Amino acid sequence: MPVPREFAQLLSRFHQDIGLQASNEEEVISFMLRGLDNAQKRTVRGFLDGLLARNPTGAELQRVWRDGDADWSLRDDDELRQFLTMIRDRLALDAVRPT
């Protein structure tokens, strides 16, 4: 599954100084999502929906993360799966909120 440009853009905001922008996972996700417009968010959500629905192996998730070219890694496969799920769930929640 090729990594969309929008997902790579999202991951580009996940860098070694992220702790200066956010103090917990929810704030990290909010910071990362601020860099995307609504169309880009829909693309990322669709990508993560499809990826996570396939229940990929940890190695597949790590490949997707590396292909997204994040500056920082999540080496634990389960933590990575949980983090990607949190991003997807946040995008789904944001989609139903009135603007």
Query: Domain tally for the chain?
Result: 1
**Among candidate residues 61, 94, 93, 60, the one with its CA nearest the CA of residue 80:** 61
Q: What is the pLDDT of residue 73?
A: 82
| Residue-range definition of the domain harbouring residue 42 | 5-96
**Among candidate residues 6, 7, 15, the one with its CA nearest the CA of residue 73:** 15
CB 4 within 8 A of CB 47: yes
Can you state the angle between helices 58-67 and 77-96, rounded to 10 degrees? 70
Predicted model pTM: 0.88
pLDDT tens sequence across 38-73: 999 999 999 999 999 999 999 999 999 999 888 888
